[in-house]
Amino acid sequence: MSKIAAFYYTQSGQGLNILRSVCRPLEDAGHQVVYKAIVPETEFPFPWTADAFFQTFPESYGGVACSLRSIDLSDVEDAAQVIVEYPVWFLSPSIPTHGFFQTPAIRQFLKDKNIITIGNCRNMWVKAHTAVNEYITGCGGKPAGSIVLQDRHHNLISVITIVRWLIHGHKEKKGLFPAAGVSPEDIASAAVFGRIINEAILSGDFSGQLQQKLIQNGAIRYKPSIVFIEKTGYRIFGLWLKFILRKGDDDGKKRAFRLKLFKYYLFAVLYLVSPVGMVIFYLTYPFRYKTIQKDKRKQCYLLFFSMGHPKNKKLSGN
């Protein structure tokens, strides 16, 4: 039986619930799962104030790590498998996730290990997923599987419920609005991924088969219209980052005004511009079809590109 090191950063507990659901079948099968929390030296608030929330944009997007409490690796040095759970912040890995992947001892630890990642987000995960896989390959780790759990409600609904949750602390359903976050059903059924990972551990096969089976069971849901918004948003975020950092990279008052402008921009774009963007997206869909299919394969099978996964293999199960 194997030892599995399972790292996570969570604010509300959602990330840990997902991780536990994935790991339960592994524990039932007799593997030892050692949970390791990623904890910032100075904790981020939860719920957030709007100002604190937007203050994290430059560092999240720019990949600037925060200091973390040191993670004791002595009891997982002999772990054969590693799982890393990460939340998405501003289309990027969260600041503590950047901290984790930039820690020299962690980078050394991840070298040559099979690493399975679990993204946890509202609905925009593509860029963070790419960044996390780049971190893994960058430290000599082997990306072995990718799972992404998200809120499956409509984009314009989940943007309201997530603000209610993250800023006001109310996650529950209210009136016409559903509960925020990944649904309890999706969290519970994430156990299926643990069973698939167990099969890979038993067979010792961490090649393309694992990711293929994960995808067939809904481990990654690629929604072209949301990816279109995300990619456009990501490019524009780069311009905002430059504009904000012209005021210095401290987290003080100097950049506060520009971050306020960014906040208004973000809400305006979500409510006013993105519905128009959607119409443009669907009108031009037939012309984009081939590019979308290519990108879908690249994102979902990202891992296998480096392993020579056949490019024209048709995706199934999404």
Binding site for ligand FMN (CB under 6 A): 10-12, 14-15, 53, 56, 87-91, 120-124, 162, 166
DSSP assignment string, 141-177: -EEEEEEEEE--S-HHHHHHHHHHHHHH---S-BTTB
> Toward ligand FMN, which CB reaches closer, 61 or 109?
61
**E-strand stretches of the chain:** 3-8, 32-37, 81-89, 92-93, 114-121, 142-150
CA 259 to CA 274: how far, in whole Å? 20
Cis peptide before 87 (omega within 30 of 0): no
Q: Which amino acid is at 23?
A: C
Q: Minimum Å distance from CB 142 to ligand FMN?
A: 25
- For residue 206, the SS3 value is coil
Closest separation between CB of residue 57 and ligand FMN, Å?
Answer: 8
Written as six digits, the tokens of 195 are 């069973």
Dist CA 61 CA 138 (whole Å):
18
| Nearest distance, CB of residue 311 and ligand FMN, angstroms | 28
**CA-to-CA separations, 96 to 41, 44, 106, 135, in angstroms, rounded:** 10, 9, 13, 14
Please say which residue, 19 or 144, places its beta carbon nearer to ligand FMN. Answer: 19
Q: Tell me how far, at minimum, the Cβ of 307 lies from ligand FMN, in Å.
A: 27
Contact 207, 307 (CB under 8 A): yes
For ligand FMN, the closer of residues 181 and 304 by Cβ is: 181
CB closer to ligand FMN out of 120 and 146? 120
Structure tokens at 305: 């590109």
Comparison of 57 and 301: residue with beta carbon closer to ligand FMN: 57
**Which CB, 86 or 304, lies closer to ligand FMN?**
86
At closest approach, how far in Å is the CB of 166 from ligand FMN?
5
Least distance in angstroms from the C-beta of 309 to ligand FMN: 26
